Amino acid sequence: MLVSSLRVRKCLAACLSSQLTTNLKHSPLPIPPLLPRISLLRFLSVQPNEDSPAFSLLVESLGLPPEIARSVCRKLQGKISKNAGPVIIMLKNHGFSADQICAVVNRCPQALGLNPEKTLLPKLEFFGSKGLLGPDLAVFISSCPYILWRSLDRLIIPHFNFFRSILKSNEKTLRAVRRIAWAGSTVAPNIRYLLDNGVSESNVAGLLLYVPTVLYSSHSRLREAMQVSKEMGLDPRKSMFQNALLVVLGMSKSSWESKARVYRNWGWSEEELLSAFRKYPLCMAVSEDKINRVMSFFVDRMGWKPSLIAQHPILFSQSLEKKTIPRGSVLQFLLSEGLFEKHYSLTGFFTMNETAFMKRVAARYPEAAPRILAIYKGANEQTD
């Protein structure tokens, strides 16, 4: 199961001092952190002259708003191609709204220099042949305009076909292409490397669709992350491997060791730490503050042994205030009334989804259900 958030992500790189390095001997992570910063191309700052022919062409002839025209002039250093007018006309003829044209031109001003018939039109027709027509095509291109700057024959078509061989549908492939349009030349070799080294096709498909940042890494960094993840016992054929790659690539050695120290301070052994990571790698992606608060809740308030929490690291993934604490209040009530069955899973009580939790309460404890729901609601209100 893929991480919801798989929203989780992108830690800043940091160099370690030699003194710090000697203190990090327990960490399996390499130095430096594996995920590089991804910075956008910055253009020279050239103040546009609003009386210049370029600015006048963009505003008066092509109908761009003055603020967009200024931005484009800066990025192109005042040099506007003769193709600009025909390019904008072609986009309009393919259903692009004024706002969508502005988005394309502002984010990828080089598109104004494309040959409309020989370069732009074939790209629009290619994506149309894959199911993007009219408004859908305009939405797609305006959301990733850099793809217009890519070679159709050398990059777009080969990469589309390669990604489709993994994702099995045009719809999923277009979704992936939209997210990685600017990094396709890096992504494809990395995918081949993963497949050649035992990562399952389903894992690669998950990375393409949900966490493509893993695939932006340099080949050497990805290779190192693969080695680290395998050494920690992760199976590249299992779904958790993609989460392990995400965490390893996004964390510096110092950050890993700092979080590992927090877990050790709560009584986890080194083997328990690695076992927890293998079961749920994102337990190392949460903040140190959250680690402390979750451990404090289960150990100090609920009376659990730290080793029990190590066996169920998914407990670190959910909201402490909105889910864990309210359910803990309900569990304490059930235990005090002798209603909680011994065979019932404690961790399942905390991790089941909201709908299942409510149904289970109503079905198992019909007489106590009103009281339970009142406790649950009250605990939720106290943590808001």
| Pair (93, 183) in one structural domain | no
Task: Give the CA radius of gyration of the chain.
Answer: 27
9 located within any domain? no
Model confidence band, residue 22 (pLDDT cutoffs 50, 70, 90): very low
The C-alpha atoms of residue 78 and residue 54 are separated, in whole angstroms, by 6
SS3 9: coil
347 located within any domain? yes
12 located within any domain? no
Which range is least confidently modeled, 15-19, 225-229, 247-251? 15-19
DSSP structural state of residue 344: S
Task: Round the average pLDDT of the chain to a whole number and report it.
Answer: 83
pTM: 0.73
DSSP structural state of residue 217: S
pLDDT of residue 40: 35
pLDDT of residue 183: 67
The label of the residue with tokens 């959250």 reads: 290
Amino acid at 71: S
The answer to whether residue 217 scores a pLDDT higher than 60 is yes
Q: With b meaning 16 or more CB within 10 Å and e meaning fewer, what string describes 65-94? A: eeebbbbbbbbbebebbebbebbbebbeeb
- From 157, 89, 151, 90, select the one nearest 129 (Cα to Cα): 157
| Pair (235, 278) in one structural domain | no
| Sequence-distant (≥ 6) Cβ neighbours of residue 83 within 8 angstroms | 112, 113, 114, 115, 116
203 located within any domain? yes
Token digits of residue 244: 């392990």
Last residue of a domain, one of 87, 120, 149: 149
pLDDT of residue 305: 94
| Pair (75, 115) in one structural domain | yes
| Sequence-distant (≥ 6) Cβ neighbours of residue 16 within 8 angstroms | 24, 31, 32, 252, 253, 254
- From 302, 307, 310, select the one nearest 284 (Cα to Cα): 310
SS3 266: coil
| Pair (262, 366) in one structural domain | yes
The C-alpha atoms of residue 54 and residue 48 are separated, in whole angstroms, by 9
The answer to whether residue 381 scores a pLDDT higher than 50 is yes
Token digits of residue 154: 């050398």
pLDDT of residue 369: 86
Last residue of a domain, one of 190, 220, 250: 250
Domain that holds residue 365: 253-383
The total of structural domains in the chain comes to: 3
| Pair (195, 142) in one structural domain | no
Mean pLDDT for 181-204 is 88
Last residue of a domain, one of 128, 149, 170: 149
Length of the chain: 384
The C-alpha atoms of residue 353 and residue 350 are separated, in whole angstroms, by 9
pLDDT of residue 84: 84
Spatial contact of 233 and 278, defined as CB atoms under 8 Å apart: yes
Mean pLDDT for 308-327 is 94
The C-alpha atoms of residue 261 and residue 294 are separated, in whole angstroms, by 15
| Pair (379, 257) in one structural domain | yes
More confident residue, 71 or 46: 71
The answer to whether residue 41 scores a pLDDT higher than 60 is no
Per the rule left: phi > 0, alpha: psi between -120 and 50, beta: everything else, 268 is: beta
More confident residue, 179 or 285: 285
SS3 81: coil
pLDDT of residue 376: 87
The answer to whether residue 45 scores a pLDDT higher than 80 is no
| Pair (199, 276) in one structural domain | no
281 located within any domain? yes
Mean pLDDT for 177-200 is 87
| Pair (183, 237) in one structural domain | yes
pLDDT of residue 29: 53
Model confidence band, residue 364 (pLDDT cutoffs 50, 70, 90): confident
Model confidence band, residue 50 (pLDDT cutoffs 50, 70, 90): low
